[in-house]
Structure 1
């Protein structure tokens, strides 16, 4: 190796110094002349959640999921992908399943929202909650509340006649642990116990 060639250590040192200059330069340049954008005015929202009315003043960009978790402290609905693809945030709105991460709280004013916290009747679990326990239909549990809420809707919609039909209508809810067979079995059990599967 000649004196004109860099050693590996020297190359890494130069690269680190260059990166520091590239990153640190803009940070040390001082504030820009562009004014910071003002926060939008708050909007008054009435959320009816699990039979209770809540009056909130929210940033109009607040999602229903954030309103539930951050403002009402109902943390059963989970933040998963934030894109409506995993289903961990599923709740019922007027009895229909919705991905709460995709719904703006200001646009669901006065709609009837049911979360996993409102599914049981006192100490009496919903039949699907009981079936999830009996069928061991959860592992890490992160997706469980969304799976149960979607499963309740699946049964109410009349889409629980067969395992294949349940899989199709539950496909919007992902389980990274892969407990799908147990989830399907739990939904079939609950559908049978409630007798609420309508013809379709």
Structure 2
């Protein structure tokens, strides 16, 4: 067909998209603003979830065969693993020599991630960073299962949550993320002041799920 079934325009460029293999109507778009947006193809006027954490444009994205997570490669020289319904990444991969990441792919069994970067190298990463490679004895497997159960049991505690989410970041990414938080706080305070000093209902704010969408054409 010469015309699209549905069309949606965003403020910034979309560099790549990936369909969820387990949910055929859902896909995630890697955007130039550093975020990824998950959509339902039947309702494109609002994103289902906004996946943050990258500080520069996201260049490529790929879903795992299970459909429960996806990997992204960014201009900030890092890879991130996101849960399909989570706003923040659960793992980050980077090295000193790796440059801008242009392509990422999951392996067929979902155990590994392959990345291609601007330094002409391909790198193979474990999809689960703490997973032990090779043969695991039954006693070792029981120990790993016990640790996972402990973390799941006490994940609501603030200290456990902080340790579980902590990841080492390269210094440029850490500084850029801090500056982005400062700018976001400034915009939020500015909107709150504008709303407080305007007539009731005259100033409306849109959530980020809708803010980046200009229009939808059916």
Fold similarity call, TM over 0.5: no
Larger radius of gyration: 1
Taking structure 1 as the reference length, what is the TM-score of the superposition? Answer: 0.26
Q: Higher helix share goes to which structure?
A: 1
Q: Higher strand share goes to which structure?
A: 2
Taking structure 2 as the reference length, what is the TM-score of the superposition? Answer: 0.25
